[in-house]
């Protein structure tokens, strides 16, 4: 069976990034015309003076649609225009590249009464060749040049290469985090209870840490411990190695050459428990196997291929022999009591192997949090094609593997109708540490999550977030007769639900599972990205060489962009120009998702 043709990968990448293939042998525009002589720095091929916009055309709803040519050089078709959007709390209209009918049918488990899509940033630059997996941008060095060369920590950002082209408000934005500022400094259209994106993540992490302190730790056999965090530091129970061992097959020798070979049959072998090889005398050699205990008074091990014995039983080396060569001295790796791994370390297969070598049979770990998933919606199908106003449930299949990658044991996935009593019964019956619900978080007639939480006396820790997509998300603490639990209410639109996972569920789960917060990472964005006037925006990106490339199909009801993404870029209110450093959130399937730049 053969794999896909390389052209198939290129076609997919071009579709998602909206990047046309450049004609071979041409320069300038993709159709072979020469590029303009001057550029504004806002995107590849952007003219210094933008052309007059074409007249508006009738839209699908009888209104008008703006042509994508009226936006920035790297237009984000269908995105919210910060200057003209009459209602910043509604999702943007479908862009010109998006079929409005698909925009509605693509909403899986959507909050009732909310529609619309966002075609996402449109790129016009020829991409790097397609690849079979994500390529990670290199981290910026501490002293980075003015030209960005890859990822870096936020406190190591090089100066902006075009400060004279940046308006004052953008320079001021560069000096602060996207959501920095007073909570009461809201845009006129903002919901009064919604909190900034960074505040929401901090609250979720604090809630998880508080719950973690009340959870008991468990002792897990080594074969079941992978994927959880160490509850206590891992210290060496013995010296490693616990005795001097041979690193190679060959001869253990004592003193200078030549050596007289001791006749002992097969020689000194590994695994001869309870036996100690006889000491060597000066000028003596004995055959030895890798891993075998080195005889007392041996000064080196000579590899088989580096010596030969004559017919008189004399051994001669073919190269100089250094004292101690190819001998693994006792305690070379660690001494008894040395710290091998600190608490909160994620147990990987390598950590399991180290623990076994150090003498452990079990590990004391923080158990995986358990979760129930409640998928709400009368309109959802679990098989077959959408029909008659019914759509496929995408979140039921998406959430369990995503949560498992975050360290969660999914106990149940239930699909519920839009009924307040049914939701109430499901919440009170759950015994999981965490409940993830999808849909029903808005204020429509079929949205029952908030009223049901009120009825249960739940504590709302986060009641809406200033982020797009997914601003109606919430985090609540439930106290039942059995135990306290947390509910993360995700919007029903698929990408909006992913936004809720990254904003609330991931920090909560990470702290609940005893894992440390990851080190923040940034990367320069290749294209300009339009932002919401007052909310943080989460945009799927592909990591190509040293840049983050914004992807299309990033509307709240779309999954095509996130399916092709390596990471999520955090876009501050107002958007950014090309080359701006953005915070990058790795996705669970990205190559560096464990311990480096993960969410």
- Domain 218-238+334-366 falls in which CATH fold? Molybdopterin biosynthesis moea protein, domain 2 (3.90.105)
Q: What whole-number distance in Å separates Cα of residue 453 and Cα of residue 457?
A: 6
- Give residue 589's pLDDT: 81
The CA distance from 101 to 106, in Å, is 8
Q: What is the 3-state secondary structure (H, E, C) of 212-251?
A: HCCCCCEEEEHHHCCCCEECCCEECCCCECCCCEECCCEE
Angle at 504 between CA 498 and CA 506, to 5 degrees: 75
For the stretch 296-331, pLDDT in tens is 999 999 999 999 999 888 999 999 999 999 999 999
Q: What are phi and psi of 49, to 5 degrees?
A: -115, 115
Residues of the chain with CATH 2.170.190.11: 245-328
Which homologous superfamily does the CATH classification assign to the domain defined by 195-213+368-512?
MoaB/Mog-like domain (3.40.980.10)
Which token pair is 332? 């070379």
Residue 186 has pLDDT above 60, yes or no: no
Assess contact for 537 and 569: CB atoms under 8 A: no
For the stretch 51-60, pLDDT in tens is 444 443 333 3
What whole-number distance in Å separates Cα of residue 459 and Cα of residue 485? 11
Which residues of the chain are in CATH 3.40.980.10 domains?
A: 195-213+368-512
Binned at pLDDT 50, 70 and 90, residue 94 comes out as very low
Give the alpha-carbon dihedral of 390, 391, 395, 401, to 10 degrees: 120
Distance CA 254, CA 323 (A): 9
Dig out the tokens for 260 from the structure.
């007289």
524 vs 66 pLDDT, higher one: 524
> What is the model's pLDDT at position 107?
36
- Planar angle of CA 50, 39, 28, nearest 5 degrees: 100
| Mean pLDDT of the region 107-131 | 39
Alpha carbon distance 430, 377 (integer Å):
19
Distances in Å between the Cα of 337 and the Cα atoms of 349, 404, 558 are 22, 34, 53
Give the tens place of pLDDT for each residue, 52-87. 444 433 333 333 333 333 333 333 333 333 333 334
Cβ atoms of 88 and 81 closer than 8 Å: no
Length of the chain in residues, anyone? 599
Give the whole-angstrom CA distance, residue 314 versus residue 36: 82
- Give the span between the Cα atoms of 460 and 412, in whole angstroms: 24
The whole-number pLDDT of residue 16 equals 62
CA dist., res. 185 & res. 183, Å (int) = 6
Residue pointed to by tokens 């001021």: 172
* Choice among 184-188, 353-357, 452-456 with the minimum mean pLDDT: 184-188
Q: How confident is the model at residue 265 (pLDDT cuts 50, 70, 90)?
A: confident
| Pairwise CA distance, residues 303 & 325, whole Å | 10
What average pLDDT is seen over the chain?
A: 75
Residues with Cβ within 8 Å of residue 172, at least 6 apart in sequence: none
Distances in Å between the alpha carbon of 95 and those of 74, 92, 102, 118? Answer: 14, 8, 11, 6
Mean pLDDT over 426-437 rounds to 93
Task: Write down the pLDDT at residue 80.
Answer: 36
pLDDT of 9-47, one tens digit each? 455 555 566 554 433 333 343 344 343 333 333 333 333
H or E stretch including 210? helix 197-212
Q: Is residue 454 very low, low, confident or very high in pLDDT (cuts 50, 70, 90)?
A: very high
> What burial class does residue 143 get, using C-beta atoms within 10 Å of its C-beta: 0-12 exposed, 13-18 middle, 19+ buried?
exposed
Tokens of 436: 């993830």
Q: What is the largest CA-CA distance in the chain?
A: 103
For residue 516, the model assigns a pLDDT of: 86
DSSP single-letter state for residue 165:
G
Q: Cα–Cα distances in Å, from 64 out to 61, 70, 73, 93, 507?
A: 8, 13, 21, 11, 41
Quote the CA–CA distance of 317 and 321 in Å, as a whole number. 7
Asked if pLDDT for residue 252 goes beyond 50, the answer is yes
DSSP 3-state of 173 = helix
3-state DSSP call for residue 423? helix
Domain with CATH 3.90.105.10 in the chain: 218-238+334-366
The two beta strands, 465-468 and 195-196, are parallel
CATH fold label, 245-328: Molybdopterin biosynthesis moeA protein; domain 3 (2.170.190)
Q: Is the pLDDT of residue 218 over 60?
A: yes
The continuous run of DSSP H or E covering 451 comes out as helix 449-456
* Cα pseudo-dihedral 393, 395, 401, 405, rounded to 10: 170
| Residue 233 pLDDT greater than 80, yes or no | yes
In the predicted structure, residue 369 carries a pLDDT above the cut 60 = yes
Ramachandran angles phi, psi of 516, nearest 5°: -75, 160
The number of beta carbons lying within 10 Å of the beta carbon of residue 431 is: 12
For the entire predicted model, the pTM comes to 0.67
Report the alpha-carbon distance of residue 22 to residue 342 in Å, rounded.
51
Cis peptide bond prior to 258, omega within 30° of 0: yes
What does R_g of the chain's alpha carbons equal in angstroms? 31
**∠ at Cα 317 (316, 319), nearest 5°?**
150
What's the whole-number mean pLDDT along residues 98-102? Answer: 34
Beta bridge partners of 371: 410, 434
pLDDT for 192 equals 66
pLDDT of residue 549 exceeding 60, the answer is yes
Instruction: Grade residue 271 by pLDDT with cuts at 50, 70 and 90.
Output: confident
Name the band, by pLDDT with cuts 50, 70 and 90, for residue 546: confident
- For the packed helices 420-429 and 449-456, what is the interaxial angle rounded to 10 degrees? 50
Nearest to 502 by CA among 205, 222, 258: 205
With a cut of 50, say whether residue 93 has pLDDT above it. no
Whether 539 contacts 551, CB under 8 Å: yes
């Amino acid at each position: 069976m053969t794999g896909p043709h390389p052209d198939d990968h290129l076609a997919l990448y071009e579709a998602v990034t909206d990047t046309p293939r450049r004609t071979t042998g041409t320069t300038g525009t993709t159709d072979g015309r020469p590029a303009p002589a001057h550029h504004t720095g806002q995107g590849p091929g952007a003219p210094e003076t933008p052309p007059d916009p074409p007249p508006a055309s009738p839209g699908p709803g009888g209104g008008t649609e703006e042509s994508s040519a009226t936006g920035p050089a790297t237009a984000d078709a269908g995105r919210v225009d910060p200057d003209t959007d009459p209602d910043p709390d509604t999702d943007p209209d479908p862009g010109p590249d998006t079929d409005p009918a698909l925009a509605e049918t693509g909403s899986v488990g959507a909050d009732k009464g909310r529609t619309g899509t966002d075609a996402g940033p449109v790129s016009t630059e020829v991409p790097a060749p397609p690849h079979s997996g994500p390529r990670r941008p290199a981290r910026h060095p501490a002293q980075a040049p003015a030209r960005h060369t890859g990822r870096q920590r936020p406190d190591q950002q090089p100066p902006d290469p075009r400060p004279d082209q940046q308006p004052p408000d953008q320079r001021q934005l560069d000096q602060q985090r996207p959501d920095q500022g007073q909570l009461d400094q809201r845009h006129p259209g903002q919901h009064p209870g919604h909190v900034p994106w960074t505040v929401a993540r901090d609250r979720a992490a604090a809630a998880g840490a508080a719950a973690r302190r009340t959870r008991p730790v468990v002792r897990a056999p080594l074969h079941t411990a992978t994927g959880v965090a160490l509850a206590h530091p891992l210290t060496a129970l013995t010296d490693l190695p616990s005795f001097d061992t041979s690193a190679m097959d060959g001869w253990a020798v004592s003193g200078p050459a030549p050596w007289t070979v001791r006749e002992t049959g097969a020689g000194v072998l590994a695994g001869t428990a309870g036996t100690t090889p006889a000491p060597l005398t000066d000028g003596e050699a004995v055959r030895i196997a890798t891993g075998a205990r080195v005889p007392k008074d041996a000064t080196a091990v000579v590899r088989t291929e580096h010596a030969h014995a004559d017919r008189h039983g004399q051994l001669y080396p073919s190269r100089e022999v250094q004292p101690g060569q190819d001998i693994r001295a006792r305690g070379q790796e660690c001494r008894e009591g040395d710290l091998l791994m600190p608490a909160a370390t994620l147990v990987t297969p390598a950590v399991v192997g180290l623990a076994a070598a150090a003498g452990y049979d079990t590990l004391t770990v923080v158990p995986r949090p358990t979760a129930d998933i409640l998928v709400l919606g009368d309109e959802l199908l679990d098989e077959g094609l959408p029909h008659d106003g019914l759509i496929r449930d995408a979140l039921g299949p998406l959430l369990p593997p995503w949560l498992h990658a975050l360290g969660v044991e999914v106990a149940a996935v239930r699909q519920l109708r839009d009924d307040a009593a049914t939701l109430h019964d499901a919440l009170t019956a759950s015994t999981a540490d965490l409940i993830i619900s999808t849909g029903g978080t808005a204020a429509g007639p079929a949205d029952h999550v908030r009223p049901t939480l009120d009825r249960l006396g739940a504590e709302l820790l986060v009641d809406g977030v200033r982020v797009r997509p997914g601003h109606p998300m919430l985090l609540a603490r439930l106290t039942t007769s059995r135990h306290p639990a947390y509910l993360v209410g995700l919007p029903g639109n698929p990408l909006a639900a992913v936004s809720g996972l990254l904003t609330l569920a991931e920090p909560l789960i990470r702290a609940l599972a005893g894992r440390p917060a990851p080190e923040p990472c940034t990367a320069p964005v290749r294209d300009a990205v339009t932002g919401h006037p007052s909310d943080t925006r989460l945009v799927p990106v592909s990591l190509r060489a040293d840049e983050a490339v914004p992807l299309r199909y990033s509307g709240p009801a779309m999954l095509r962009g996130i399916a092709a993404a390596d990471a999520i870029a955090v876009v501050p209110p107002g958007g950014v120009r090309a080359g701006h450093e953005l915070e990058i959130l790795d996705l669970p399937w990205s190559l560096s998702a464990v311990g480096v730049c993960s969410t």
